[in-house]
A and B are shown apart, each in its own frame.
Chain A
Amino acid sequence: DTAVSQTPKYLVTQMGNDKSIKCEQNLGHDTMYWYKQDSKKFLKIMFSYNNKELIINETVPNRFSPKSPDKAHLNLHINSLELGDSAVYFCASSPGAGGAGTQYFGPGTRLLVL
């Protein structure tokens, strides 16, 4: 009955590989997000979807492609992984059309690129 879940929890891979991270929320929220937290714990938004539509696309390399098959799911696909992609990736969701209110975070996916 986890509210926001992510898979996998840990991901270790080689440079150049392609990988996907999945996120699901069972809160009935309309908006979902991907954040990246670097080694200094700085958290920055990458993407946001509202009802399957992309509403925020920060300055992120186009190797990162989000996909929202329905409003309960937001997946993140990363092509040609680089060392600098190593980070913790958090999915989050919020009710309503925007992110002005409370956001609910998943447990994170720890990505290590070797």
Chain B
Amino acid sequence: SQQGEEDPQALSIQEGENATMNCSYKTSINNLQWYRQNSGRGLVHLILIRSNEREKHSGRLRVTLDTSKKSSSLLITASRAADTASYFCATVLTGTASKLTFGTGTRLQVTL
């Protein structure tokens, strides 16, 4: 069964606005990662947050993790058309350090 469920499934915003995507998971994790996939391309790693961390920043990206609620959010500030892509959360489960389990993805469309 899938570990991560993402919300919303699709999001359409205008350039300059902020985009927030949420990820919920079911079992205890070692870390949670966010990846971006442009149409027809491979996945690109964005950010990794460990289970003992609550927030991380990277450029225009901000990720939060709430282990009590088993959820994470990815915020992209001041979005650009180039941010149009699918965004996936992926978890490394506690005790299974060898694999990522991906969520269902959020399709983000940024229009001019």
A-side residues, CB < 8 A to B, are: 4, 31, 33, 40-45, 48, 50, 55-56, 90, 92, 98-108
Interface residue total, chain B, C-beta cutoff 8 A: 24
Q: Does B77 contact A (CB under 8 A)?
A: no
Can you list 24 A-B contacts (CB < 8 A)? Answer: A33-B99, A40-B104, A42-B102, A42-B105, A43-B43, A43-B88, A43-B102, A45-B100, A48-B99, A50-B98, A99-B97, A99-B98, A99-B99, A100-B31, A101-B48, A102-B33, A103-B43, A104-B45, A105-B42, A105-B43, A105-B44, A107-B41, A108-B40, A108-B41
CB-based nearest B residue for A91: B42
Chain B binding site: helix, strand, loop or mixed by DSSP?
strand
Query: In the complex the two chains form, what is the Cα distance from A105 to B30 in whole Å?
Result: 21
Task: Tell me the residues in window 23-71 of chain B with beta carbons closer than 8 Å to chain A beta carbons.
Answer: 30-31, 33, 35, 37, 40-45, 48
B42 contacts A90, CB within 8 Å? Answer: yes
B104 contacts A100, CB within 8 Å? Answer: no
B41 contacts A45, CB within 8 Å? Answer: no
Q: Report chain B residues within 8 Å CB of A108.
A: 40-42
Q: Given B2, B30, B45, which contacts A103 in the complex, CB threshold below 8 Å?
A: B45
Q: Does B92 contact A (CB under 8 A)?
A: yes
